């Protein structure tokens, strides 16, 4: 039962990867020049002549180039990317001209190279020259929607349940994804994509919680980590569809219908027993547990009343054992800075979240600019994530969370430096190095979710993970602007990612190792965990819901003892 629920839920996570990276091909700016007033009779580019501009694009090498055209009325024009000039003396057609020219704006539109992409949003609405900044806002505004959606839908899922949010966000991804293809101007396009980003982010956040609450303790690390793997598969789908479809609105429709089967079936997913129990909907929780028992062919009876009584006993003993953990106290973001130890930990964790997201999207968004086949590049950048999460799961269980995080952060910094010294003619080597960089930053990005939860006590654990996730979204908003710095210096994005990765790698040395240690319940215990003392952490009582959790997870096991 848990396996079916898990794979159904994470299948839709592919659509999140699809929409997050769709703009890499949708918002491509091809080669272009100013339009001209009239019909052309001949075209000249350096020493090559042609009868139409379409024949010249294969020779175009730089934005500094210009094209000379002669119109049927005899006028000769020089066409640059953002301006055009008419020669005052038009006796003969020559590329070089030293005489007087009259400069005009591009009032007749632009001519685009359509040999690779038949249509993009840039060519659709002329997002070039003085409107270029609008094209550069497409990905950042989407990521801003991701940030807001994570906050809004995460809160709604706690109030209304995971099931309803999964229904709404799944349907929203399909509806808004199709709607993007039929937007009538740039502003409606950005608004609809902003809404699409909100529901995509909302689904991804709630899906993590949803599968975590269904999957047993033994498989939880692997299950939560491999939600990222399905996100990476979505990136691979973007590369494949981009290769096959070169018209942006058709491309968007194909991407949106890729996960339509889940939209048609998501209404069958049940609510999680944990949320139902937290809302005191015991009958509904009992129905879900009975369904799990039937699917898994488990005959051992389990009553919600037993779970509640065990949980109540734990709550009572927890209060008797520690008077400081009063549930009536409200906690806020300032509790993450209650003392120097916790404050330093919080700053480091936030930097790891930010750096992981920044590096992840810089490597992904830059992949189409590495040279060679941009579709293959993006496909490989997505494919390299699949083994990286397996390595992360094995390493953090064998070596520890911190001992896995530090070397991979520093390794990603070293790879960023290495790429700067690779000659630009070595395309294959550059692509392999970028794949290695994405691999190393992917390991760090994947395990920080679990590591953050283990570093903080129960009373502020959700707050810590939520604030870290916010820093992650900030990194994703900054990443597109970082990629645009390639126009300043081609290695500027890598330099920034490398510096951040090295800094966070060094700071991570000061974090405590959490492998094999019990979860802490109070800020005092969390503070002591960072010191080499055995007193406090070893006496930590189990979290309040552990007993109920173990009882529910009995149904996920094939063999179970009668005593349990």
> What DSSP string runs through 242-308?
HHH--BHHHHHHHHHGGGHHHHHHGGGPPPPHHHHHHTT-HHHHHHHHHHHHHHTT--S---HHHHH
- The residue among 505 and 550 whose pLDDT is bigger is 505
Least confident of 194-203, 478-487, 540-549: 540-549
CA distances from 332 to 336, 337, 338, 343, 464 (A): 8, 10, 10, 14, 10
When mean pLDDT is compared over 290-304, 326-340, 376-390, 548-562, the highest value belongs to 376-390
**Among candidate residues 380, 358, 354, the one with its CA nearest the CA of residue 485:** 358
What percent of the chain lies above the pLDDT cut of 90? 29
- Residues 211 and 9: beta-carbon distance below 8 Å: yes
Q: Is the pLDDT of residue 541 over 50?
A: no
- List Cα–Cα distances, 515 to 393, 451, 486, 491, 528, in angstroms: 12, 9, 40, 37, 15
DSSP state, 182?
A: T
**147-161, 208-222, 346-360, 529-543, range with greatest mean pLDDT:** 346-360
The phi, psi pair for 36, rounded to 5°, reads: -130, 150
What value does the mean pLDDT take over residues 314-329? Answer: 47
For residues 464 and 520, is the Cβ–Cβ distance under 8 A?
no
pTM for the complete prediction? 0.82
User: Is pLDDT of 283 > 90?
Assistant: no
Burial 311-339 (b: 16+ CB within 10 A, else e): beebeeebeeebeebeeeeeeeeebbebe
pLDDT score, position 329: 57
Residue 248, CA distances (Å) to 123, 124, 145, 182 in order: 10, 9, 21, 11
The pLDDT of residue 531 is 66
The pLDDT value recorded for residue 20 is 92
Q: Which among 382, 22, 17 is positioned nearest to 236, based on CA atoms?
A: 382
Q: For residue 30, give the DSSP letter.
A: -
DSSP states of 314-338 as a string? HHHHHHHH-TT--TTS---GGGGGS
Sign of the four-CA dihedral 281, 159, 544, 454: positive
Are the C-beta atoms of residues 418 and 430 closer than 8 Å to each other? no
Pair 207, 12: CB distance under 8 Å: yes
Mean pLDDT (the chain, rounded)? 82
Q: What is the mean pLDDT of residues 258-270?
A: 82
Helix (H) or strand (E) holding 43: strand 40-45
CA angle 560/562/564 to nearest 5° reads 75
Q: Which CATH architecture has domain 334-528?
A: Up-down Bundle (1.20)
If you average pLDDT over each of 2-11, 219-228, 554-563, which comes out highest? 2-11
CB burial of residue 441 (10 Å; 0-12, 13-18, 19+): buried
- Reported as a single tens digit per residue, the pLDDT across 114-134 is 888 899 999 999 999 899 999
- In the chain, domain spans: 1-19+117-269, 32-115, 334-528
Asked whether residue 63 carries a pLDDT value surpassing 90, the answer given is no
pLDDT of residue 207: 84
pLDDT over threshold 70, residue 346: yes
* More confident position, 48 or 80: 80
Judge whether residue 37 has pLDDT over 50: yes
Q: What Å distances lie between residue 497 and 12, 177, 254, 392, 493, CA to CA?
A: 30, 31, 33, 20, 6
Determine the Cα–Cα distance for residues 466 and 219; give it in Å rounded to an integer: 23
> Which has the minimum average pLDDT: 214-218, 228-232, 316-320?
316-320
What one-character DSSP code corresponds to residue 77? E
Q: Class assignment of domain 1-19+117-269?
A: mainly alpha
- Mean pLDDT calculated for residue range 287-310: 75
CA–CA separation, 45 vs 50, rounded Å?
A: 8
Q: Contact, 293 vs 553, CB < 8 A?
A: no
Asked if 1-19+117-269 and 334-528 have one fold, the answer is yes
Residue 560: pLDDT band (50, 70, 90) is very low
Are 28 and 112 in contact by the 8 Å Cβ rule? The answer is no
Q: How far apart are the first and last CA of the chain?
A: 20
pLDDT band at 284 (very low <50, low <70, confident <90, very high): confident
**What's the pLDDT score for residue 183?**
93
The H-assigned helical ranges of 161-216 are 162-181, 186-214
């Amino acid at each position: 039962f848990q396996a079916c629920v898990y794979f159904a839920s994470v299948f839709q996570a592919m659509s999140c990867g699809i929409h997050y990276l769709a703009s890499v091909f949708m918002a491509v700016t091809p080669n272009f020049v100013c339009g001209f007033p009239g019909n052309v009779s001949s075209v000249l580019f350096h020493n090559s002549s042609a009868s139409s501009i379409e024949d010249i694009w294969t020779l175009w090498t730089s934005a500094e180039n210009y094209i000379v055209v002669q119109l049927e009325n005899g006028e000769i024009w020089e066409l640059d990317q953002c301006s055009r000039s008419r020669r005052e003396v038009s006796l003969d057609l020559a590329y070089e001209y030293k005489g007087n020219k009259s400069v005009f704006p591009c009032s007749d539109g632009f001519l685009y190279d359509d040999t690779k992409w038949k249509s993009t949003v840039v060519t659709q609405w002329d997002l070039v020259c003085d409107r270029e900044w609008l094209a550069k806002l497409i990905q950042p505004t989407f990521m801003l929607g991701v940030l807001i959606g994570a906050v809004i839908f995460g809160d709604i899922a706690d109030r209304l349940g995971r099931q309803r949010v999964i229904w709404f966000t799944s349907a929203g991804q399909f509806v808004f994804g199709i709607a993007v293809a039929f937007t009538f101007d740039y502003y409606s396009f950005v608004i609809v994509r902003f809404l699409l980003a909100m529901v995509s982010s909302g689904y991804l956040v709630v899906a993590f919680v949803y599968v975590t609450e269904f999957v047993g303790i033994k498989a939880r690390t692997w299950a939560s980590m491999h939600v990222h793997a399905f996100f990476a598969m979505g990136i691979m789908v973007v590369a494949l569809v981009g290769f096959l479809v070169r018209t942006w609105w058709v491309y968007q429709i194909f991407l949106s219908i890729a996960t339509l089967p889940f939209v048609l079936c998501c209404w069958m997913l049940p609510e999680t027993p944990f949320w139902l129990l937290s809302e005191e909907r015991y009958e509904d929780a009992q129905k879900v547990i009975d369904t799990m028992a039937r699917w898994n062919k488990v005959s051992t009876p389990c009553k919600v009343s037993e779970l509640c009584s065990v949980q109540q006993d734990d709550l009572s003993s927890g209060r008797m054992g520690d008077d400081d953990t009063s549930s009536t106290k409200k906690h806020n973001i300032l509790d993450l800075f209650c003392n120097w130890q916790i404050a330093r930990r919080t700053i480091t964790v936030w930097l790891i979240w930010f750096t992981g997201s920044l590096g992840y999207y810089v490597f992904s968004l830059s992949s189409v600019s590495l040279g060679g086949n941009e579709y293959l590049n993006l496909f490989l950048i997505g494919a390299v994530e699949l083994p990286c999460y397996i390595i992360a799961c094995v390493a953090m269980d064998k070596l520890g969370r911190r001992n896995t995080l530090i070397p991979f952060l520093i390794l990603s910094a070293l790879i960023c430096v290495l790429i700067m010294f690779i000659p630009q003619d070595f395309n294959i080597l550059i692509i392999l190095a970028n794949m290695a960089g994405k691999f190393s930053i992917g390991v760090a990005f994947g395990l920080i979710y679990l590591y953050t939860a283990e570093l903080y006590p129960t009373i502020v654990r959700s707050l810590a993970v939520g604030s870290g996730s916010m820093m992650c979204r900030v990194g994703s908003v900054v990443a597109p602007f970082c990629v645009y710095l390639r126009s300043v210096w081609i290695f500027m994005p890598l330099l920034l990612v490398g510096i951040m990765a090295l800094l966070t790698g060094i700071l991570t040395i000061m974090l405590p190792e959490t492998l094999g240690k019990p979860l802490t319940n109070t800020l005092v215990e969390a503070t002591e965990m960072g010191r080499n003392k055995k007193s406090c952490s070893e006496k930590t009582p189990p979290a309040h819901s552990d007993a109920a959790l173990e009882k529910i997870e009995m149904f996920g096991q094939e063999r179970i003892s009668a005593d349990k």
